[in-house]
Each structure stands twice: as C-alpha cells, then as structure tokens.
Amino acid sequence: MSTIRVTGLRVRHRKTVALDAVDLRLGPGVHGLLGPNGAGKTSLVRVLATAAQPDDGRVELLGEDVGEPRRRGPVRRRLGYLPQEFGYYPGFTVREFVAYVAWLKELPSADTPAAVERAVSRVGLGDRIDAKVRTLSGGMVRRAGIAQAIVNDPDVLLLDEPTAGLDPEQRVEFRELLRELGACATVVVSTHLVEDVAAACTEVTLLDAGRVAYRGTPAELAALGDGPDGVGDNPIERGYTAALRAHRGRPHPAAAVRGATR
C-alpha cells in the first residue's frame, strides 16, 4: 500500500530545475533519501510536507490529492515534519515548544500532556523537558525538533538531515527510534550520511540533478559497489558512487538504475 504517491513532479527555483519528472511510490517503512548537494532532496521533502507547491505533477498523501487546498489541512494533522532549520521561541521550555506544535496539529487537549512527555522521552530529553530551549546544545535542539515531529504519532514522518548535531551514541539511539516508527508509519529521511541509511532504512532513493537515479534496498545499493565504478570506504558508499556514475552515463529520461517507480 502506497501512502505517498508522486507522479511527474517538477519543481523550479527561478531558472534552476530542482526536481524533474520524479515518480515515487512509498509505503510503510523507513525510506532513505540520498544524493549530492543540490540533488533536490530538500525540495522533495518540502513538497511532501505541503510546505511548498510543485510547478507540475501530482502528489497524493494518505490517499488525498494535496494539490487541492481543502485537503491539506486533514493531511497535515497526520504528518510529522522536521526541516533542516526550524523556528522556535527560545523562551519556551521543551515541554511548551512540543505542546505548542501539538496544539497546531489539533491534538485533543486532554491527550496533549501525555503525548508531549512520550515524544520528549523517546528522543532522550526527558530530563530536560522543563529546560528553556535557548539553554540547550545544538544536538539537544535537534532532538527537540524530532520530538515535535513525532508528538502526534504521524502516519507520514518527513525528516530533513535529522542527525545533524547528534553525537555517535545519539545517532545509534535515533536509528533504533526510526526502526520503531517505520513499523507502522511511512518515514522519509533525507541525509548525507549513508551509514544512517545502511543501518536504519528499508529502502533507499537516490536523487541526482533532480531525478531519481536509483531505488532499492540498502543491500542492493551496496552490491552495486562490487564493480569498478564504486569508490568509498564501505560497501554502501561504493554502491552510492557507482549508482551516481551509472545514472550520469544514461540519457534522460532513463532515470533509474533499478525500478524508479517500484
């Protein structure tokens, strides 16, 4: 079952094409979104989060066409979204910040206190729940951002560079959380860190120059690195570079090494 369906997606930023004829079908599980800088990852996540509108194409989330404004509100209540940079009131405590987002998502007021405490605990900030956000380290602020994204137990969770600022131990804990969330939700993780994809994701989509260059499992991506085109310190890095080189050797619109619309 596809909870995210993207067809012919095209996004332009002035004269630059950020996404070009992207087709995707994603269901429950943890989906890694990889690609070099400028590949279109953030543009895709923003469109999926209904924070930006495409220039062309169709986006369906949870069975709803979010190109229709009246359908976005109900869908947004079932989304979780962590952008690369997010705003917050520094004078808020972590509890107040996450509760405010819960209010924006129209969680029932009776359920909000328990939902906030659970979300904050899941990201390892339970002992700082009443600390002012301005007193937190960069990694802690990032974890507070993850907490607000999951406070409503979303059916679709969109995370853009979520491990930025996290130390190695926190990244391991975060991967465990991703696997837990992906058991019943569709989780999309945009990242530069291929090791996060290898450890936590069930599928990976590789974008290059706004097009889908590869779609498959992390193991399948790693297997591509067995050939002469793979360069890197581990199998998935070598598969990543091999997939990019293979894609760049193909003329558009053959935009996938393996089943881009699978």
Per-residue pLDDT for 65 more than 60? Answer: yes
pLDDT of residue 123: 94
Q: 225 pLDDT exceeds 60? A: yes
pLDDT at 34: 94
Based on the fold, state whether residues 56 and 107 are members of the same structural domain: no
Tell me: do 237 and 163 sit in the same domain: yes
In terms of domains, do 70 and 94 share one? Answer: no
Task: Clarify whether residues 137 and 232 are in a common domain.
Answer: no
**What confidence score (pLDDT) does residue 195 get?**
82
Question: Residues 161, 236: one domain?
Answer: yes
177 pLDDT band, cuts 50/70/90, is very high
| pLDDT for the residue numbered 165 | 82
Question: Which CATH number goes with the domain that contains 32?
Answer: 3.40.50.300
Highest mean pLDDT among 128-132, 248-252, 254-258: 128-132
Q: Are residues 115 and 228 in the same domain?
A: no
214 lies in the same domain as 192: yes
- Mean pLDDT, residues 7-22 taken together: 93
Residue at which a domain ends, from 153, 176, 198: 153
- Domain membership of residue 204 (yes or no) is yes
Residues 68 and 98 in one domain: no
Select from 128, 153, 178 the last residue of a domain. Answer: 153
- HEC readout, the chain: CCCEEEEEEEEEECCEEEEEEEEEEECCEEEEEECCCCCCHHHHHHHHCCCCCCCEEEEEECCEECCCHHHHHHHHCCEEEECCCCCCCCCCEHHHHHHHHHHHCCCCCCCHHHHHHHHHHHCCCHHHCCCEHHHCCHHHHHHHHHHHHHCCCCCEEEEECCCCCCCHHHHHHHHHHHHHHCCCCEEEEECCCHHHHHHHCCEEEEEECCEEEEEECHHHHHHHHHCCCCCCCCHHHHHHHHHHHHHHCCCCCCCCCCCCCC
Tell whether 126 and 244 lie within a shared domain.
no
Residue 205: the pLDDT is 96
Q: Report which listed range, 101-110, 157-166, 186-195, 228-237, is most confident.
A: 101-110
The pLDDT of residue 2: 81
Residues 127 and 227 in one domain: no
Residues 111 and 237 in one domain: no
- Residue 248's pLDDT is 87
In a domain, 178, yes or no: no
Residue range 70-79, pLDDT digits in tens: 889 999 999 9
Q: Is residue 105 part of a domain?
A: yes
Look at residue 4 and tell me if it is in a domain: yes
- Band the pLDDT of 233: cuts 50, 70, 90: confident
Can you give the residue range of the structural domain that contains 33? 1-78+156-167+186-262
| 174 occurs within a structural domain | no
Tally of structural domains, the chain = 2
Instruction: Report the chain's mean pLDDT, rounded to a whole number.
Output: 90
